[in-house]
Chain A
Amino acid sequence: MVGIISYGAYIPRYRIKVEEIARVWGANGAEISKGLGVVEKSLPDMDEDTITISVEAARAAMARRDINPVDIEAVYVGSESHPYAVKPTAVTVGEAIGATPVMTAADYEFACKAGTAAIQTSMGLVKSGMVKLSVAVGADIAQGEPGDALEYTAAAGGAAFVIGNDDPIAEINHTCSFSTDTPDFWRRENKPYPRHGGRFTGEPAYFKHVIGASKMMLEKMGTKPSDYDFAIFHQPNGKFPVQAAGMLGFSMDQIKPGLAVTYLGNTYSGASMVGLSAVLDVAKPGDRIFMTSYGSGSGSDSFDMTVTDVITSDLFHREAAPSVASLLADKKLVDYAVYAKHKGKVVMME
């Protein structure tokens, strides 16, 4: 059955506190931090971008399992911050893991859910027999304009999933999507930062789609929230996923293991997938996982998964790559000046 063959996550080491960003803009940091449910967020090093993050995550996935790279016949990378407008991130990932040249590859964009869309594409190719294995990555160096509300959460990180038919560590029982033309958040061509519709991003955008896809999934599978051991929801901040879980009837215990946002921030295309990685870091055979991503514009992809005993077998080496918890713990806090330098906000005169 189609499922996750391996996975890996990557989070750059640097962090900045929400309060430090607020200090620079003369805002009430404690209040903003509490309001968003985010304490600190990750940021890239000078030489990190969505390509390097995707490569690190894909390499971590390869490290966890003895995969013949030649069997990887497709690579899809979902991101809002592909370094090139024209030239794929996915081929660099393919090269880095030795999957080239007999493979198909493409970059995806659907705001914060391009990574889960890549998983769905991979599932289709694998299930149809067109490819043996496919890699789906969601990664971002999330953009947020200095001084804008997004700046407090826009973070860096990503996760990669190898999708295949044979001996998955987690079977994907079903996936379904809920999409409409709802412009709550967007970035036009040649613009460095996204814009958003303020409060419009909540009820008619995030909640309508996350709840819509999740309910569709529960109905299709004939399940109820208590049937799952873990649930992951797209986490643009610490409040929305908790509210969505509450509206659907999931408990804090079910969502906490996959709620990485508090000390990570919003990694956009990486957000749900880093959450799923954190859950797979601790999941046991037989555990059932519910995941719903969200991408502005807008859509949600929902997944129902069951962890298999392969995850604790000799076929899989969970400890061969760092867990999300250890990536989060291995951190270096910086101030806004260093953050500005790392994010390329300090422009040198030529």
Chain B
Amino acid sequence: MREVAVIGVGCTKFGEKWESSFRNLFVEAGALALEDANLSGEHIDELFVGNMSAGRFVEQEHIGALIADYAGLATENIPATRVEAACASGGLAFRQAYTAVASGMSDIVVAAGVEKMTDVDTSVTTDVLAAAADREWEGIAGITFPGLYAMIATQYMHKYGLTREQLAQVAVKNHENGALNPNAQFQKPITLETVMKSTLVADPLRLFDCSPVTDGASAVILAPLERAREFTDTPIKVLGCGQASSSIALHDRKDICTLDATVAAGNRAFQMAKVERKDIGFVEVHDCFTIAEICAIEDLGFCKKGEAGKLTEEGYTALGGKLPVNPSGGLKACGHPVGATGVKQVYETVKQLRGDAGKRQLDADIGMTHNVGGTGATVVCHIFGRA
């Protein structure tokens, strides 16, 4: 396998993008990535796009070809593939692009993610997202994603004594980071009280425990490491890549407080990267709900089960902490355009490692991403370092 580097990144501002259509979004992100890599369209050999549900959100399928077409590549006839793994679609698109380059099949490959979620009303959005769970055993019974993660949170609090305040602190910390990120949907710090007093969504999760509904797109460009410096002075190397699956229904897990696919995908990424947990300078984790960040920190092996709440409370995961978690603001503050999130995590990691992350810049050599589909039926992790 060849070594692979990220040579260009682009991301739209995330939010309620009333003025941008689905195709506007990815064209904007793609153009930014190409510009960043000093490339033009005819250099692109292949394209992968992560998208969960354009079919239901904007009644558009056949996204791979659509993106290639609207990127101005219709006459280049490049292979263009849509990748779907619910909220992990973006991370998985990146993995597909990585394997395409690593295998030698293609040289310059785009990994993009896009979701346009605000063209339908909230009840439709909730139902579309519920399709990431088991429709026959969970969805039909009426459970939605806040409900599933609320069950994880309830069980977790019971088992490990996590406090409501510790959970809220995840949101406070991510909003603090988001306030420094010009692409974030929410760029406003919040207080613990704001979280604790916000509307109850699914006990114990409140409005500010939940990532919002968001439009947005991200795109990154990969190349063989040996060619990376043709395009950029700051290539970022993919050190490790791990993907795992688990039961689609939450009730089929041995322990609902552990996302075993996170454990497996994390371990695979670490094994491949040949780095230790202590080597990781920061991690972008999939905090679709505050409890998800708590579980992720533990399941990736950064601390023992039951400790992440206390560490969060102590500032261990804050920007100035020992292990900054979600320096971008995470899904909580950046917003969560489900297909784009996994690629946005790569975007943030590359920006950080290049020293190009503005006010939220960290001093780190190695960063990690963690992208989850459903309640952990698909997990994709990547580890990056400077080349």
Chain A interface residues (CB < 8 Å from chain B): 28, 31, 197-200, 203-204
Contact = CB atoms under 8 A, between A and B. Distances in A.
Which of B16, B18, B122: most chain A CB closer than 10 A? Answer: B18
The 8 closest A-B pairs by CB, nearest first: A204-B18, A198-B121, A198-B122, A199-B16, A200-B18, A197-B121, A31-B199, A203-B18
Nearest to B122: A198
Given A197-B121, A198-B121, A198-B122, A203 B199 contact: no
Interface residues on B, range: under 10
Given A198-B121, A199-B118, A204-B18, 8 more contacts: A28-B199, A31-B199, A197-B121, A198-B122, A199-B16, A200-B16, A200-B18, A203-B18
Interface string B1-42: 000000000000000101100000000000000000000000
Nearest to B125: A198
A113 B118 CA distance: 26
A124 to B, nearest CB: 33
Interface in B184-204: 199
A18 B159 CA distance: 40
Contacts of A197: 121
Contacts of B19: 204
A146 B274 CA distance: 59
Chain A interface secondary structure, helix, strand, loop or mixed?
Answer: helix
Chain B interface secondary structure, helix, strand, loop or mixed?
Answer: loop
14 contacts: A28-B199, A31-B199, A197-B121, A198-B121, A198-B122, A199-B16, A199-B118, A200-B16, A200-B18, A200-B118, A203-B16, A203-B18, A204-B18, A204-B19
A204 to B, nearest CB: 4
Nearest to A32: B199
B224 to A, nearest CB: 44
Nearest to B199: A31
Contacts of B199: 28, 31
Contacts of A28: 199
A35 to B, nearest CB: 9
A17 B74 CA distance: 59
Which of A28, A197, A198, A204: most chain B CB closer than 10 A? Answer: A198
Nearest to B118: A200
Contacts of B122: 198
A197 B122 CA distance: 9
Nearest to A182: B18
Contacts of A200: 16, 18, 118
Contacts of B16: 199-200, 203
A197 B18 CA distance: 11
Contacts of A199: 16, 118
Contacts of B18: 200, 203-204
Interface string B103-130: 0000000000000001001100000000
Interface in B116-153: 118, 121-122
A33 B121 CA distance: 22
Nearest to B213: A199
A200 B118 CA distance: 8
A28 B198 CA distance: 12
A288 B19 CA distance: 36
Nearest to B197: A31
B203 to A, nearest CB: 13
Contacts of B118: 199-200
Contacts of A204: 18-19
Nearest to B200: A28
A208 to B, nearest CB: 9
Nearest to B18: A204
B386 to A, nearest CB: 40
A31 B207 CA distance: 13
Nearest to A27: B199
A258 B121 CA distance: 32
Nearest to B19: A204
B120 to A, nearest CB: 9
A197 B120 CA distance: 7
A173 to B, nearest CB: 33
A198 B122 CA distance: 8
A198 B118 CA distance: 9
Interface in B313-340: none
A102 B371 CA distance: 73
A199 B16 CA distance: 9
B302 to A, nearest CB: 36
Nearest to A31: B199
B317 to A, nearest CB: 30
